[in-house]
Amino acid sequence: MNKPRLLLSETHTVKKLLRDLKLNTVCEESRCPNISECFGAGTATFMILGEICTRGCSFCNVSKGKPKGLDEQEPYRLLDAVKKLGLKYVVITSVTRDDLPDGGADHFAKCVSILKESIKDIKVEVLVPDFKGSQKALKKVLSSGPDVLNHNVETVPRLYGAVRKGASYERSLYILKSSKELFPHIWTKSAIILGFGETKQEVISVMQDLRNVRCDFLTIGQYYQPSLKHHPTVKYYTYEEFEELRQLALSMGFKYVASGPNVRSSYKAFESIST
Protein backbone atom coordinates (compact mmCIF):
# COMPACT_ATOMS: atom_id res chain seq x y z
CA MET A 1 0.00 0.00 0.00
CA ASN A 2 3.02 2.31 0.43
CA LYS A 3 3.75 2.10 -3.31
CA PRO A 4 0.42 2.69 -5.12
CA ARG A 5 2.05 3.08 -8.53
CA LEU A 6 3.73 -0.32 -8.25
CA LEU A 7 0.46 -1.79 -6.99
CA LEU A 8 -1.48 -0.49 -9.99
CA SER A 9 1.24 -1.66 -12.35
CA GLU A 10 1.25 -5.18 -10.91
CA THR A 11 -2.57 -5.29 -10.94
CA HIS A 12 -2.60 -4.35 -14.62
CA THR A 13 0.03 -7.01 -15.38
CA VAL A 14 -2.01 -9.77 -13.73
CA LYS A 15 -5.23 -8.69 -15.45
CA LYS A 16 -3.53 -8.61 -18.84
CA LEU A 17 -2.03 -12.06 -18.32
CA LEU A 18 -5.43 -13.48 -17.36
CA ARG A 19 -7.06 -11.93 -20.43
CA ASP A 20 -4.31 -13.21 -22.73
CA LEU A 21 -4.68 -16.75 -21.36
CA LYS A 22 -8.49 -16.56 -21.29
CA LEU A 23 -8.65 -17.36 -17.58
CA ASN A 24 -11.28 -16.23 -15.08
CA THR A 25 -10.75 -15.22 -11.47
CA VAL A 26 -13.30 -15.15 -8.69
CA CYS A 27 -11.55 -11.94 -7.64
CA GLU A 28 -13.04 -10.08 -10.59
CA GLU A 29 -16.30 -12.01 -10.98
CA SER A 30 -17.32 -11.48 -7.33
CA ARG A 31 -16.00 -7.90 -7.16
CA CYS A 32 -13.77 -8.82 -4.23
CA PRO A 33 -12.71 -5.78 -2.13
CA ASN A 34 -9.14 -7.14 -1.92
CA ILE A 35 -8.53 -7.43 -5.65
CA SER A 36 -5.94 -4.65 -5.86
CA GLU A 37 -4.01 -5.94 -2.86
CA CYS A 38 -3.92 -9.52 -4.13
CA PHE A 39 -3.27 -8.68 -7.79
CA GLY A 40 -0.66 -6.20 -6.66
CA ALA A 41 1.10 -9.05 -4.84
CA GLY A 42 0.94 -11.18 -7.99
CA THR A 43 -1.66 -13.62 -6.66
CA ALA A 44 -5.14 -14.62 -7.79
CA THR A 45 -7.84 -17.17 -7.09
CA PHE A 46 -8.47 -18.90 -10.40
CA MET A 47 -12.05 -19.76 -11.32
CA ILE A 48 -12.31 -22.78 -13.59
CA LEU A 49 -15.25 -24.43 -15.39
CA GLY A 50 -16.42 -21.21 -17.02
CA GLU A 51 -18.01 -18.08 -15.61
CA ILE A 52 -21.70 -19.05 -15.54
CA CYS A 53 -23.13 -20.76 -12.44
CA THR A 54 -26.10 -23.13 -12.39
CA ARG A 55 -27.20 -21.99 -8.93
CA GLY A 56 -28.85 -18.74 -7.86
CA CYS A 57 -27.36 -17.63 -4.53
CA SER A 58 -28.81 -14.20 -3.72
CA PHE A 59 -25.55 -12.78 -2.38
CA CYS A 60 -23.24 -13.78 -5.25
CA ASN A 61 -22.30 -11.55 -8.18
CA VAL A 62 -21.23 -14.40 -10.51
CA SER A 63 -23.46 -14.77 -13.59
CA LYS A 64 -26.21 -17.38 -13.50
CA GLY A 65 -27.60 -19.36 -16.43
CA LYS A 66 -26.74 -22.20 -18.79
CA PRO A 67 -22.96 -22.82 -18.87
CA LYS A 68 -20.93 -23.69 -21.96
CA GLY A 69 -19.09 -26.98 -22.48
CA LEU A 70 -15.81 -27.84 -20.76
CA ASP A 71 -12.59 -26.24 -21.97
CA GLU A 72 -10.12 -29.14 -22.03
CA GLN A 73 -7.15 -26.79 -22.46
CA GLU A 74 -7.94 -24.72 -19.38
CA PRO A 75 -5.72 -26.76 -16.98
CA TYR A 76 -2.71 -26.11 -19.25
CA ARG A 77 -3.42 -22.37 -19.50
CA LEU A 78 -3.74 -22.33 -15.72
CA LEU A 79 -0.31 -23.93 -15.44
CA ASP A 80 1.09 -21.31 -17.83
CA ALA A 81 -0.32 -18.47 -15.71
CA VAL A 82 0.99 -19.94 -12.45
CA LYS A 83 4.48 -20.29 -13.95
CA LYS A 84 4.48 -16.76 -15.38
CA LEU A 85 3.31 -15.29 -12.07
CA GLY A 86 5.83 -17.37 -10.14
CA LEU A 87 3.21 -18.56 -7.66
CA LYS A 88 4.01 -21.05 -4.91
CA TYR A 89 0.48 -21.19 -3.51
CA VAL A 90 -2.49 -21.48 -5.85
CA VAL A 91 -6.20 -21.32 -5.06
CA ILE A 92 -8.57 -22.94 -7.57
CA THR A 93 -12.31 -22.47 -7.32
CA SER A 94 -15.22 -22.74 -9.74
CA VAL A 95 -18.79 -21.90 -10.44
CA THR A 96 -21.25 -24.63 -9.48
CA ARG A 97 -21.84 -26.95 -12.44
CA ASP A 98 -24.92 -29.03 -11.63
CA ASP A 99 -25.21 -29.68 -15.38
CA LEU A 100 -22.14 -31.95 -15.34
CA PRO A 101 -22.45 -35.59 -14.15
CA ASP A 102 -19.56 -35.20 -11.69
CA GLY A 103 -20.06 -31.50 -11.00
CA GLY A 104 -16.70 -30.76 -12.61
CA ALA A 105 -14.69 -32.95 -10.22
CA ASP A 106 -12.58 -34.50 -12.96
CA HIS A 107 -11.67 -31.05 -14.30
CA PHE A 108 -10.65 -29.93 -10.81
CA ALA A 109 -8.49 -33.06 -10.46
CA LYS A 110 -6.77 -32.43 -13.79
CA CYS A 111 -5.90 -28.87 -12.81
CA VAL A 112 -4.40 -29.98 -9.50
CA SER A 113 -2.52 -32.93 -10.99
CA ILE A 114 -0.97 -30.86 -13.78
CA LEU A 115 0.22 -28.21 -11.32
CA LYS A 116 1.60 -30.78 -8.88
CA GLU A 117 3.41 -32.72 -11.61
CA SER A 118 4.88 -29.62 -13.27
CA ILE A 119 5.94 -27.32 -10.41
CA LYS A 120 8.12 -28.51 -7.56
CA ASP A 121 6.78 -27.80 -4.04
CA ILE A 122 3.66 -26.01 -5.34
CA LYS A 123 0.84 -25.78 -2.78
CA VAL A 124 -2.73 -25.99 -4.08
CA GLU A 125 -5.97 -25.12 -2.34
CA VAL A 126 -9.25 -26.11 -3.96
CA LEU A 127 -12.44 -24.24 -3.10
CA VAL A 128 -15.05 -26.69 -4.34
CA PRO A 129 -18.84 -26.69 -4.77
CA ASP A 130 -20.87 -29.35 -2.97
CA PHE A 131 -20.97 -31.77 -5.95
CA LYS A 132 -24.59 -32.45 -4.90
CA GLY A 133 -23.16 -34.41 -1.99
CA SER A 134 -21.32 -36.94 -4.18
CA GLN A 135 -18.53 -38.55 -2.18
CA LYS A 136 -17.28 -40.15 -5.41
CA ALA A 137 -16.77 -36.73 -7.00
CA LEU A 138 -15.14 -35.39 -3.85
CA LYS A 139 -12.76 -38.37 -3.68
CA LYS A 140 -11.74 -37.74 -7.30
CA VAL A 141 -10.63 -34.21 -6.39
CA LEU A 142 -8.90 -35.26 -3.17
CA SER A 143 -7.02 -38.06 -4.94
CA SER A 144 -5.29 -35.46 -7.12
CA GLY A 145 -3.39 -34.24 -4.07
CA PRO A 146 -4.54 -30.74 -3.03
CA ASP A 147 -3.05 -29.38 0.18
CA VAL A 148 -6.30 -27.76 1.34
CA LEU A 149 -9.93 -28.72 0.66
CA ASN A 150 -12.07 -25.62 1.05
CA HIS A 151 -15.85 -25.65 0.99
CA ASN A 152 -17.87 -22.72 2.29
CA VAL A 153 -20.99 -23.00 4.43
CA GLU A 154 -21.42 -19.22 3.83
CA THR A 155 -24.28 -18.58 6.29
CA VAL A 156 -26.38 -20.05 9.10
CA PRO A 157 -28.91 -22.86 8.42
CA ARG A 158 -31.97 -20.64 8.97
CA LEU A 159 -31.00 -18.34 6.12
CA TYR A 160 -30.15 -20.95 3.49
CA GLY A 161 -33.53 -20.65 1.76
CA ALA A 162 -33.05 -16.91 1.24
CA VAL A 163 -29.29 -16.83 0.66
CA ARG A 164 -28.17 -20.17 -0.80
CA LYS A 165 -30.97 -21.48 -3.00
CA GLY A 166 -30.22 -24.97 -4.24
CA ALA A 167 -27.69 -25.62 -1.49
CA SER A 168 -27.99 -27.53 1.77
CA TYR A 169 -26.27 -26.76 5.07
CA GLU A 170 -26.16 -30.45 6.00
CA ARG A 171 -24.72 -31.32 2.59
CA SER A 172 -21.96 -28.74 2.97
CA LEU A 173 -21.02 -30.14 6.37
CA TYR A 174 -21.05 -33.62 4.84
CA ILE A 175 -18.51 -32.55 2.19
CA LEU A 176 -16.12 -31.29 4.89
CA LYS A 177 -16.72 -34.34 7.08
CA SER A 178 -16.19 -36.74 4.18
CA SER A 179 -12.95 -35.02 3.20
CA LYS A 180 -11.47 -35.65 6.64
CA GLU A 181 -12.67 -39.25 6.64
CA LEU A 182 -11.28 -39.97 3.17
CA PHE A 183 -7.99 -38.05 3.40
CA PRO A 184 -7.30 -37.05 7.03
CA HIS A 185 -3.96 -35.43 6.14
CA ILE A 186 -5.55 -32.84 3.82
CA TRP A 187 -6.43 -29.62 5.63
CA THR A 188 -10.09 -28.56 5.47
CA LYS A 189 -11.37 -25.01 5.44
CA SER A 190 -14.65 -23.12 5.36
CA ALA A 191 -16.03 -19.58 5.42
CA ILE A 192 -18.86 -17.66 7.02
CA ILE A 193 -20.20 -14.38 5.60
CA LEU A 194 -21.87 -12.03 8.08
CA GLY A 195 -24.58 -9.46 7.46
CA PHE A 196 -27.55 -11.46 6.18
CA GLY A 197 -29.53 -11.19 9.42
CA GLU A 198 -27.96 -13.99 11.44
CA THR A 199 -27.66 -13.85 15.25
CA LYS A 200 -24.41 -14.15 17.18
CA GLN A 201 -25.51 -17.45 18.68
CA GLU A 202 -26.30 -18.84 15.23
CA VAL A 203 -22.79 -17.95 14.06
CA ILE A 204 -21.27 -19.62 17.11
CA SER A 205 -23.37 -22.74 16.44
CA VAL A 206 -22.08 -22.88 12.85
CA MET A 207 -18.50 -22.58 14.08
CA GLN A 208 -19.11 -25.46 16.48
CA ASP A 209 -20.68 -27.55 13.70
CA LEU A 210 -17.56 -26.97 11.61
CA ARG A 211 -15.30 -28.07 14.45
CA ASN A 212 -17.48 -31.15 14.96
CA VAL A 213 -16.54 -32.25 11.41
CA ARG A 214 -12.89 -31.43 12.18
CA CYS A 215 -12.64 -28.34 9.96
CA ASP A 216 -9.14 -26.89 10.40
CA PHE A 217 -9.28 -23.33 9.02
CA LEU A 218 -11.99 -20.66 9.08
CA THR A 219 -12.52 -17.27 7.46
CA ILE A 220 -15.18 -14.78 8.55
CA GLY A 221 -16.04 -11.70 6.48
CA GLN A 222 -18.62 -8.97 5.94
CA TYR A 223 -21.27 -9.17 3.21
CA TYR A 224 -21.48 -6.16 0.91
CA GLN A 225 -24.56 -6.06 -1.32
CA PRO A 226 -23.30 -6.06 -4.96
CA SER A 227 -26.48 -4.49 -6.37
CA LEU A 228 -30.09 -3.70 -5.53
CA LYS A 229 -31.18 -7.06 -6.94
CA HIS A 230 -29.05 -8.96 -4.44
CA HIS A 231 -29.83 -9.86 -0.83
CA PRO A 232 -29.73 -6.70 1.33
CA THR A 233 -27.01 -6.14 3.90
CA VAL A 234 -28.86 -6.32 7.21
CA LYS A 235 -25.94 -5.48 9.50
CA TYR A 236 -22.39 -4.16 9.30
CA TYR A 237 -20.18 -5.71 11.96
CA THR A 238 -17.49 -3.80 13.84
CA TYR A 239 -13.81 -4.73 13.95
CA GLU A 240 -14.31 -5.57 17.61
CA GLU A 241 -17.08 -8.04 16.79
CA PHE A 242 -14.91 -9.72 14.15
CA GLU A 243 -12.05 -10.02 16.61
CA GLU A 244 -14.34 -11.49 19.27
CA LEU A 245 -15.51 -14.15 16.83
CA ARG A 246 -11.90 -14.87 15.83
CA GLN A 247 -10.92 -15.45 19.43
CA LEU A 248 -13.97 -17.65 20.01
CA ALA A 249 -13.14 -19.73 16.93
CA LEU A 250 -9.53 -20.20 18.05
CA SER A 251 -10.74 -21.29 21.48
CA MET A 252 -12.87 -23.96 19.78
CA GLY A 253 -9.76 -25.47 18.20
CA PHE A 254 -9.52 -23.97 14.70
CA LYS A 255 -5.86 -23.95 13.70
CA TYR A 256 -6.12 -20.71 11.74
CA VAL A 257 -8.81 -18.02 11.68
CA ALA A 258 -8.97 -14.86 9.54
CA SER A 259 -11.79 -12.54 10.60
CA GLY A 260 -12.52 -9.01 9.42
CA PRO A 261 -14.80 -6.92 7.18
CA ASN A 262 -12.84 -7.49 3.97
CA VAL A 263 -11.75 -11.06 4.67
CA ARG A 264 -12.78 -13.50 1.95
CA SER A 265 -12.39 -17.25 1.71
CA SER A 266 -9.12 -17.18 -0.22
CA TYR A 267 -7.68 -13.95 1.22
CA LYS A 268 -3.98 -14.56 2.05
CA ALA A 269 -4.79 -18.27 1.88
CA PHE A 270 -1.09 -19.22 2.03
CA GLU A 271 -0.94 -17.97 5.63
CA SER A 272 -3.18 -20.78 6.90
CA ILE A 273 -0.70 -23.58 6.20
CA SER A 274 2.39 -21.56 7.09
CA THR A 275 1.38 -20.75 10.65
Would you place residue 76 in the very low, low, confident or very high pLDDT band (cuts 50, 70, 90)?
very high
- Look at the alpha carbons of 144, 147, 152, 156 in this order and tell me if their dihedral is positive or negative: positive
Burial of 65 (0-12, 13-18, 19+ CB in 10 A): exposed
The whole-number average pLDDT for the span 21-37 is 58
Tell me the pLDDT tens digit for each residue of 149-182.
999 999 999 999 999 988 999 999 999 999 999 9
The CATH code of the domain that includes 225 is 3.20.20.70
Query: How many domains, the chain?
Result: 1
pLDDT of amino acid 4: 37
- Helix (H/G/I), strand (E/B), else coil: 74: helix
pLDDT of amino acid 9: 55
Q: Which domain holds residue 16?
A: 4-273
Tell me the pLDDT tens digit for each residue of 221-238.
999 998 888 899 999 999
Cβ atoms of 195 and 223 within 8 Å: the answer is: yes
Q: Is the pLDDT of residue 39 over 70?
A: no
Q: Comparing 18-22, 81-85, 140-144, which segment has the lowest mean pLDDT? A: 18-22
Burial of 170 (0-12, 13-18, 19+ CB in 10 A): exposed
Q: Comparing 31-45, 96-110, 141-155, which segment has the lowest mean pLDDT? A: 31-45
CA distances from 272 to 188, 218, 275 (A): 11, 9, 6
189: closest CA among 128, 240, 245?
128
